[in-house]
Amino acid sequence: MVLVQTQLNTTERARLGSIPARCPGTGNAAVGWVRLKNRSELLRVLDVNEQDEGPSDLELVLAAYARWGSEAARQLRGEFAFGIWDAERREVYLARDPLGTRPLFVSRSAEAAVFATSLAAFRVLTGIQDAADPVWMACYIADLATGPDGPLALRDAVRVQAGHWAYLGATGLRTQRYFALRDDAPWEDSRRPHWVADYRSQLEAAGAFGAETDGLLGVETSGGLDSSTLVALAALTRPDGGRGVHGLGYAVFERETDLILATSAMWGVECNHIFTRWDNGPEGELERRMDIFDTVVGHPCQHGSVLGFTEVLSAAQTNGLRVLLSGFGGDEGVTSQGFEVLDELARRARWRELLLNFPSRPVARPARVAQWLRGSRAQRASALDRSTQARMRRVEAIFAPEIANAVLELQRPNATNPTPSANSTVLVSLNSPWRDIRLEQSAIYATAFGLEYRWPLLDADLIQQYLSTPAVWKMSHGVGRYLHRSAMTGRLPTSILQYAPKHMGNRAELAPAARTTAASPSISTGNVSVTSLHPEVVAILSPSAQDDWFGLVEKDVVRVGRVSQWAAHTSHHVYSE
């Protein structure tokens, strides 16, 4: 058993202890990407004394495993992905945090078993097959998500899913879920203020945990409610207030700059790094970003927003930042619009409340509500069905039949749509495959810039508090995100708190002289031909696609070329003692 870890130290505590962490009494050892939110509670329950030399969070995880065994993960809160070598069982115990903010992968062959936080590790280790997975390549070409249960880029690799622990040993990989969010909100017709106080308490705790660092702190900012919240919470938490906080982001729409600066002025944030273009940089820059991504993540980038934030990551690195907060995950969770409250009111025949809360001018509300009750659900279902059918036709045109069938099977919903409610929408959104992909790939890509990404709004305790709060708090008088807005009252400018739409105005116009240089460069498709493709890529394409790129748009052809280049660099390692 060989345990190897590289570590990005973002707090003084991260420098404590040894790596791997060891337990002399049991012979157990641990490596991992770990930052514990409930550290104080664990120290008390485990009766561990905190001293200048430790314990580190990883050593505390090892102590938790010694006490609770496989149930250790259930006792932890925070951001973590780790493995513990259990000397007695001759197995590795693996666990990943409840929301999956830190990735964890496993690959196993007859000669070796490996776990890592990046697939890139599997491509350089002996004893591990790193052949490309054909279904994953097809999903990449078609810009479709593979999902947490779907294939990874490497055929023999599997993902330890969020909120799961596992044992890896001679008999294979055995996994079990230890965490699930609860849809347990009581129904209340009136708003009792303690719900806002409870939510605010969890929000501040999540913000304080996210802002924990002994250096400068970066916050991705757009002027929106989520990112502005993180700026405020970071400044509220830090002993130096906003002086040690750097705002970084894009301002390409009319309202964004003013809103970014309004929160900064309110909290004394002196440094903002604002980019006024969202593009791929000068000629050759996109290829450079892709190469960096392939090296650290281990395969081509699936989620465009990951590479799109490269300028932000570079600016953070240049300014000596080691931690970058992002509001990603807010829309899917605690800052979901909550308009499904209207469905809940209708099911409970709360007609007066439905009229009061429906987003429309008062004089038009009765007619709009009646129209909504008659047709909105059917129209939404019809639009979704048309989108699904178009996607199916496209996949069938591009790929060989067996590959197309496998891709389409991944895209089928695992269950029927739940009864519409604010909570059911959040639970579905948090299980979105694209959310998982962006989290995993952003976390790994940021390390290439010496950064640790953190997502305070994807805090398990915070999200559970939101889910446990009555629906009446989640929308009010046509305004969504009502609970969060209420909790941040007095801590954000009214221009942000009272701005209901997500739309930030029109895209800012560039001067004519700048327009020719602002176009986003792309990778040319002229040098991509079927004869130049890797055989494994050719094998997944349909005959018509091979003939003249039938069914593929320019972006698809670029992806075909990129995945072919990547597949050509995968090798089949032979294990040697």
- What is the maximum span of the chain, computed from C-alpha positions, in angstroms? 80
Distance CA 105, CA 128 (A): 13
Predicted pLDDT of residue 391: 78
Per-residue buried b or exposed e for 266-278, using 16+ beta carbons within 10 Å of the residue's own CB? bbebeebbbeebe
Q: What is the dihedral of CA 347, 348, 351, 355, to 10 degrees?
A: -70
Distance CA 23, CA 66 (A): 9
Predicted pLDDT of residue 414: 54
Whether the Cβ atoms of residue 256 and residue 222 lie closer than 8 Å to each other:
yes
Distance CA 225, CA 377 (A): 28
Distance CA 14, CA 87 (A): 25
Alpha carbons within 13 angstroms on the beta-carbon side of residue 438 total 20
422-430 vs 460-467: helix axis angle to the nearest 10? Answer: 150
Eight-class DSSP state of 42:
H
Predicted pLDDT of residue 1: 53
Amino acid at the residue 234: A
Alpha carbons within 13 angstroms on the beta-carbon side of residue 372 total 18
Alpha carbon separation from 288 to 293, 299, 312, 375, 451 (Å, rounded): 9, 14, 15, 49, 18
Residue stretches of the chain with pLDDT short of 70:
1-8, 12, 14, 52, 376-387, 413-417, 509-527, 571-577
The token pair that represents 362 in the structure block:
């008062």
For β-strands 475-476 and 479-480, DSSP reports them as: antiparallel
Predicted pLDDT of residue 136: 96
Predicted pLDDT of residue 577: 27
Distance CA 78, CA 61 (A): 11
Instruction: Tell me the DSSP string of 192-231.
Output: -THHHHHHHHHHHHHHHHHT--SS-EEEE--SSHHHHHHH
Predicted pLDDT of residue 3: 58
Distance CA 178, CA 75 (A): 10
Q: Which residue has the tokens 């300014």?
A: 319
**Integer-rounded Cα radius of gyration of the chain:** 25
The token pair that represents 70 in the structure block:
């496989």
Q: Which residues contact 316 (CB under 8 A, 6 or more apart)?
A: 218, 246, 248, 324, 449, 451
For β-strands 271-275 and 245-250, DSSP reports them as: parallel
Q: What is the pLDDT of residues 98-148, one digit of tens each?
A: 999 999 999 987 777 889 999 999 888 777 777 899 999 999 999 999 888
Q: What is the pLDDT of residues 426-476, one digit of tens each?
A: 999 999 999 999 999 999 999 999 999 999 999 999 999 999 999 999 999
Whether the Cβ atoms of residue 251 and residue 223 lie closer than 8 Å to each other:
yes
Distance CA 444, CA 271 (A): 26
Predicted pLDDT of residue 520: 41
Distance CA 446, CA 100 (A): 16
Distance CA 270, CA 247 (A): 9
Eight-class DSSP state of 362:
G
Whether the Cβ atoms of residue 222 and residue 211 lie closer than 8 Å to each other:
no
Distance CA 528, CA 516 (A): 26
Distance CA 20, CA 30 (A): 5
Eight-class DSSP state of 415:
S
